[in-house]
Amino acid sequence: MFAAFLPKEFNFFDLFEKQVGFAGDAARYFKELVTKGAIDENSLSKMHDIEHQSDDVSHEIIDRLNKTFITPFDREDIHSLTKELDDIIDMLYTIVSRMKVYKISGANKQLIDFAVVIEQSVASVAAAVKAMRHMKHSKTITDACVEVNRLENVGDTMRDKALEQLFENEKDPIVVIKWKEIFQYSETVLDICEDVVHVIESIFVKQA
Amino acid sequence: MFAAFLPKEFNFFDLFEKQVGFAGDAARYFKELVTKGAIDENSLSKMHDIEHQSDDVSHEIIDRLNKTFITPFDREDIHSLTKELDDIIDMLYTIVSRMKVYKISGANKQLIDFAVVIEQSVASVAAAVKAMRHMKHSKTITDACVEVNRLENVGDTMRDKALEQLFENEKDPIVVIKWKEIFQYSETVLDICEDVVHVIESIFVKQA
Amino acid sequence: MFAAFLPKEFNFFDLFEKQVGFAGDAARYFKELVTKGAIDENSLSKMHDIEHQSDDVSHEIIDRLNKTFITPFDREDIHSLTKELDDIIDMLYTIVSRMKVYKISGANKQLIDFAVVIEQSVASVAAAVKAMRHMKHSKTITDACVEVNRLENVGDTMRDKALEQLFENEKDPIVVIKWKEIFQYSETVLDICEDVVHVIESIFVKQA
């Protein structure tokens, strides 16, 4: 009810929603790119734009943090949350960039499966971020955390199967090196999503 | 002496001891598996059970944290400690799972050496966790930390020697890729043990 | 103005400056070694000495932390800062040690470029650490953070170009495995420098 006197508090929620929106954009574009199976200079630059916009929001969050006396939760948690959200987008950019460096082309069924799961996990992360505004909605947060954890397990299994087939079928070691990294980085995106919801859980613990 | 009024406090120590007990189980089973040199569906599933039990304790710790007003130390440290203990078991599970994915079989002398050092390091971690209950026993904690640090250095040397021989003798690049990862992950277990005792040291610093 | 009554406070700044000085030594020696392009037992041992001296300062910092009631900033941040500074030196030692394990010899133009950027980044980290003593000098800290971030981006581009040429030109998969790791670790040094200035920024946020 003191909201009118503390307008700056609310900006954090707006900014986090904005940033998780960019994570959603990155996940959708990642799926589009790996489905098409071709990374050119243009697609890399578009992914870079999304990453840059997320960076800008991060800087705005830190900047406002410096200028705001009262914050809705711990300053350190605000730092962690914006960093982890940024890490999701960074990792997606890294994968796309590495695919270009490795001159990988052609749609890979397993990578597309990863992209689908990543898009789902980021959507659940977004739901958790949005529920932070009303910390009372703990069920939304808990459900999102359970789902992100579940998808991380799904990703583990997908990576293991992908690696198993890769080492079974691919005889060119250079190709093995490339795809091993792509699959492991894809699973890492799901690990970072889990880290984000852990930060949110930890914020929630302190508010409880 | 207020223990009777704060029964929930004590559960954290019980739960951490339970969880570090699972880390000990995982380390012992890991040594058994690599000594036998064969990972089948059964052994993977048994390792998975241990990981699952550790997960359950983690969730119980977080759950009690949500419901407990007074905790023996910082809520964030309780979070970190249970996460790091879980990471030890996760990493051991990852190694075993990767060995199965890579269809590695046969006992490897260097990996057995790693398993022995890992078992020792986890035993020292367990000693440090147990001493937390009586924070006054700082010598036990300090000794355990020194030992875990020492074993991490031993592990560094072991990994370097293992990699040197691997790159010197193994001509099949695919085999090099597989074992390089197994050796590096094995050393990572010792790094995580060091992270655990660093969390305990940091808790101790705050209590001092 | 209460400095006379709180002599211990100032030791932290002295110790952090000492430790970042060792990071500077490590970066300079790293550049020297990769320019010469030969890592022998002697050079490894000299790098190890620097790492050991940094470790000693770390332990002194933690030890004083245990004995000091009033600290210039959060105890946890003191922990993080000394750990991250140590990580810079550890990573440089790891690269040098890995080059010896891999029997890499001969100057590599791209690795020398990395060493130059690492030396610059560590110099900016040192400027930020030195400015901590006078937290009012926020411009020095901000400038150093901007520079360290910029150099991390430079490093990303360098790594991508180095990997691109490696995968394009090198036909021996074993050589690809070795250099891929060396280039990625070199970029990681710049990531750690960024982590250090993030800790300093976060300390600064709390003091603001």
The C-alpha of B7 sits at a distance from chain C's nearest C-alpha, in angstroms, of: 28
Alpha-carbon span C84 to C65, nearest angstrom: 17
- What 3-state class would DSSP assign to A136? coil
Question: Quick one: average pLDDT of C114-131?
Answer: 97
Q: CATH for B9-207? A: 1.20.58.220
C177:A177 CB<8 A: yes
Is B208 an 8 Å CB contact of chain C? yes
Q: Residue C208's pLDDT band (boundaries 50, 70, 90)?
A: low
The pLDDT profile of chain A, 208 residues, written as one tens digit per residue, is 344 444 445 578 999 999 999 999 999 999 999 999 989 999 999 999 999 999 999 988 887 887 777 777 777 788 889 999 999 999 999 999 999 999 998 999 999 999 999 999 999 999 999 999 877 668 888 899 999 999 999 999 999 999 999 999 999 999 999 999 999 999 999 999 999 998 898 787 777 6
Return the residue of B nearest to C63 by Cα.
B205
Is C7 an 8 Å CB contact of chain A? no
Q: How many angstroms separate the Cα of C193 from the Cα of each of B72, B112, C8, C190? A: 34, 36, 27, 5
Residue C2 CB neighbours (<10 A): 7
- The helix (H) or strand (E) run that includes residue A19 is helix A7-36
Mutate to test the interface with A, among C171, C202, C204 (most CBs of A within 10 A): C202
Q: Which one has a higher pLDDT value, A140 or C161?
A: C161
Return the residue of A nearest to B67 by Cα.
A208
Nearest to C101 among B164, B173, B177 (CB): B164
Residue B89 CB neighbours (<10 A): 29
Is the pTM higher than 0.95? The answer reads no
Is the model's pLDDT at C75 over the cut of 80?
no
Chains A & C: contacts with CB separation below 8 Å: 32
pLDDT for position B74: 78
Q: CATH for C8-207? A: 1.20.58.220
Q: What is the 3-state secondary structure (H, E, C) of chain C?
A: CCHHHCHHHHHHHHHHHHHHHHHHHHHHHHHHHHHHCCCCHHHHHHHHHHHHHHHHHHHHHHHHHHHCCCCCCCHHHHHHHHHHHHHHHHHHHHHHHHHHHCCCCCCCHHHHHHHHHHHHHHHHHHHHHHHHHHCCCHHHHHHHHHHHHHHHHHHHHHHHHHHHHHHHHCCCHHHHHHHHHHHHHHHHHHHHHHHHHHHHHHHHHHHC
Q: Which one has a higher pLDDT value, B204 or C180?
A: C180
Token pair of A60 as six digits: 């705005």
Residue C176 CB neighbours (<10 A): 20
Residue where the block lists tokens 């021989």: B165
The pLDDT profile of chain B, 208 residues, written as one tens digit per residue, is 344 444 445 578 999 999 999 999 999 999 999 999 989 999 999 999 999 999 999 988 888 887 777 777 777 788 889 999 999 999 999 999 999 999 998 999 999 999 999 999 999 999 999 999 877 668 888 899 999 999 999 999 999 999 999 999 999 999 999 999 999 999 999 999 999 998 898 787 777 6
pLDDT for position A184: 98
pLDDT for position C4: 42
Is the model's pLDDT at C126 over the cut of 90?
yes
C205:A103 CB<8 A: no
Taking only the tens place, the pLDDT of each residue in A117-126 is: 999 999 999 9
pLDDT for position B137: 64
Fold of A3-207: Methane Monooxygenase Hydroxylase; Chain G, domain 1 (1.20.58)
The C-alpha of A102 sits at a distance from chain C's nearest C-alpha, in angstroms, of: 7
Alpha-carbon span C23 to C81, nearest angstrom: 13
- Non-local (6+) Cβ contacts of B111 within 8 A are B34, B182, B183, B186
Nearest to C173 among B160, B173, B201 (CB): B173
Alpha-carbon span B67 to B41, nearest angstrom: 39
Taking only the tens place, the pLDDT of each residue in A126-156 is: 999 999 987 766 888 889 999 999 999 999 9
> Which residues of chain B have a CB within 8 Å of the CB of C174?
167, 173, 176
Helix residue spans in chain B (DSSP H):
7-36, 41-67, 75-101, 109-131, 138-169, 173-207
Return the residue of A nearest to C180 by Cα.
A177
From B97, B96, B94, B155, select the one nearest B122 (Cα to Cα): B155
> Which residues of chain C have a CB within 8 Å of the CB of B201?
62
Classify each residue of B126-138 as buried b or exposed e, where b means 16 or more C-beta atoms within 10 Å of its C-beta.
bbbbbbbeeeeee
Is C66 an 8 Å CB contact of chain B? yes
Q: Residue C67's pLDDT band (boundaries 50, 70, 90)?
A: confident
Residue where the block lists tokens 């035993």: B123
pLDDT for position C74: 78
Q: Which one has a higher pLDDT value, C75 or C86?
A: C86
Chain-centroid distance, C-alpha A150 = 15
A208:B177 CB<8 A: no
Task: Give percent above pLDDT 90 in chain C.
Answer: 71
Is A90 an 8 Å CB contact of chain B? no
DSSP state of B51: H
